[in-house]
Chains A and B, each alone.
Chain A
Amino acid sequence: MEEKSNKFSAEYIRKYLDGQLSDQEMQALEKAALEDPFLADAIEGIEESGKHAVSFESGIADLKTKLEQRISEKERKTGILFQLSKWPVAASFILVIGLAVFMVTYINKKQASVTLDKSSQENSVRADSVKRDEPVIASVKSRDIKKNATVRKESITIMKADKIQPDKKKDNSLSADSSRFFSDTTHEAENLETLARRDVSAPVAAAAKKDVLEERVAAQTIEPVVGSSGNYIRGHVINDQGKPVPYAKVNVRGSGKHVFTDTAGFFKLYMKDPRLAALVYVQPAGYESASAELIPDSNITHTIQLHSSASDADLTTFPDEKTSPFIIGWDAFYHFIDSNKKINTKDSVMKGEEVISFTLYSDGRLSPFRIEESVSSSHDKEILRLIRIAPALKLREKKKIRCVLQIRFK
């Protein structure tokens, strides 16, 4: 059977598709294609080529040239390598890589926008490191105060708690100083983390309650350095004006993994192998995507600057309003919610931004919902209610897509 189908070249298939073969020959090819998936796929491929401007034959001719170039290139490469003995080559490789790592580390340390320097190897310096981190907490706090006009008391508590949480996981015996300072908040943080991580799609009211804290607990942009492994790539995504870009999708090429930046534009990626650099893609709505090759190092926060896409200048404040090419009906969906929103409870005095993310499937289904940023539980409820009755969204081509809805209450 294998030999049989070998008779059929691309040229022969082309004749078949053009109707130049006799009925008998056609039937023989069809029969062979049923036996041989390779042939069947090839027929469909050549059929597909008819839809494009580039003819199949010219494609093959291009490929032949490319292959010849590749072969001569490779010959040269292998030739050089074979002339040298194995060990000097290996040694120089290691030297070059070592130098490169050193350079990248050095440069990044200089450029880092937030550098939590010195990965202390000993646990005894814990108290010190907590202190060192405090200014960072303060800066994040003030940023949030600016952003959400109302900052509730509990969220401040949690920011402290969030700060201590990773420490607690790693070592329960906190040093005297820090435990005195944080002892009343650690428990609370644990509970809230559980709450916040929960999917809100089912019991909306219950989970929405504390979701305001979710992003702060989950983000951990200012996780302490103590004891952290070097498996993390940290980054800070900013726009061309130096402002943080929240909810930008960050991909690692080839892994299918992605994370979103938090409200302050920070992200963190876990890499299995800390020695490997990863090609990181940032694909925010409303900006041109950017990529950078980053090396995992917990002490460095890489800064990635984006440029606004030329088409829409005022998207910086509402990056997600920009309609994805894959979503149909986003504008209607967004405007329905934006124009119908109404808060009837006492929470209506509260102002700020509601950010809710969800996955849109090809059948129009929306789930699971996540409150990324909350003004109050009444606001969460209202937005979720409106999402249910809003004009349906549709997907073009894709199976599913993660959407971020951002509604401002003013």
Chain B
Amino acid sequence: MSFLKDIKDSQTADQDLISQYKREGDIRILGELYQRYMDLIYAVCLKYLKEPAGAQDAVMAIFEELVSKLRKHEVTHFKGWLYTLAKNYCFMHLRSQKQMPVSQLPEFMQLTEIPHLETVFEKELNLNQLSKCIDGLSPDQKQTVQLFYLEEKSYKEIAGITQTDWNKVRSLVQNARRNLKICMDKITPNA
């Protein structure tokens, strides 16, 4: 399982492989590229499809899509693009099986949130505004977010400190984050 370890973190290497594949049409190059992310893609498929066998089939089907799509499309952020491709594949599959919860449908239409979150990250640097927004949170969320972001505690530690469940901590952080984002957007609408 050596390929699990040598995930190279340089985007240019991905890009190089993509242009090489486009030039030469050699599927081995694509295989090499795909192996870098195959474990994560498998995990994503597992999350949505729940079944190991189904997830494995999906990983292979996504590879097939990659073979044709990468020739046609200009991809600059391969990792984000691949994630979207994988997620959409899973949703399509669930939908064809009629197991798709309706509430998840809108998500299917969205791209990954990465570019959007980048701006959120920048905004977080503006601590003055942030502290104002933190004060506006519910006591639970406020405490959790302070422990997580300001004191840099992990979910597990926070769960220990606040005597709550690990999953509850995770959702508190996620909800607090969303509320903070809304609050920050209100203060600096054009940022």
- Are B7 and A49 in contact (CB-based, < 8 A)? no
Q: CB within 8 A of A23: which of B10, B39, B60, B156?
A: B156
Residues of A close to B155: CB separation below 8 A:
26-27, 30
Q: Nearest Cβ in chain A — how far from B134, in angstroms?
A: 16
Which of A57, A63, A397 lies at the interface centre, i.e. has the most chain B CB atoms within 10 A of its CB? A63
- Are B157 and A42 in contact (CB-based, < 8 A)? no
Q: Nearest Cβ in chain B — how far from A29, in angstroms?
A: 8
User: A9-B5, A44-B47, A46-B46 are contacts. A38–B79 as well, Cβ < 8 Å?
Assistant: yes
Q: Contact mask B66-78 → A, CB, 8 Å, 1/0? A: 0100000000010
A153 interfacial by beta-carbon distance below 8 Å: no
A74 interfacial by beta-carbon distance below 8 Å: yes
Q: CB within 8 A of A37: which of B31, B83, B156?
A: B83
Q: CB within 8 A of A71: which of B28, B99, B173?
A: B28
Residues of A close to B80: CB separation below 8 A:
2, 38
Q: Contact mask B37-59 → A, CB, 8 Å, 1/0? A: 01110111111101111011001
- Are B43 and A56 in contact (CB-based, < 8 A)? yes
Q: CB within 8 A of A45: which of B5, B45, B79?
A: B45
Q: CB within 8 A of B121: which of A1, A2, A38?
A: A1
Residues of A close to B51: CB separation below 8 A:
52
Tell me the nearest residue of chain A to B87, going by C-beta: A41
Tell me the nearest residue of chain B to A19, going by C-beta: B156
Q: CB within 8 A of A2: which of B11, B50, B63, B102?
A: B11
Chain A interface residue bracket vs B: 35 or more
- Are B55 and A398 in contact (CB-based, < 8 A)? no
**Measured CA separation A9–B38 after assembly (Å):** 10
Which of A2, A62, A66 lies at the interface centre, i.e. has the most chain B CB atoms within 10 A of its CB? A2
- Are B25 and A60 in contact (CB-based, < 8 A)? no
**Measured CA separation A300–B90 after assembly (Å):** 36
User: A27-B154, A30-B154 are contacts. A38–B77 as well, Cβ < 8 Å?
Assistant: no
**Measured CA separation A45–B47 after assembly (Å):** 4
B152 interfacial by beta-carbon distance below 8 Å: yes
A residues lining the B interface (CB < 8 Å): 1-3, 6-7, 9-11, 13, 19, 23-24, 26-27, 30-31, 34-39, 41-46, 48-49, 52, 54, 56-57, 59-64, 66-68, 70-71, 74-75, 78, 253-254, 256, 397-399
6 nearest A-B pairs in the assembled complex, by CB-CB distance: A45-B43, A45-B47, A10-B39, A26-B154, A6-B9, A45-B46
B residues lining the A interface (CB < 8 Å): 1, 3-5, 7-11, 25, 27-28, 31, 34-35, 38-40, 42-48, 50-53, 55-56, 59-60, 63, 67, 77, 79-80, 83, 87, 95-96, 98-99, 101-102, 112-114, 117-118, 121, 148, 152-157, 170, 173-174, 177
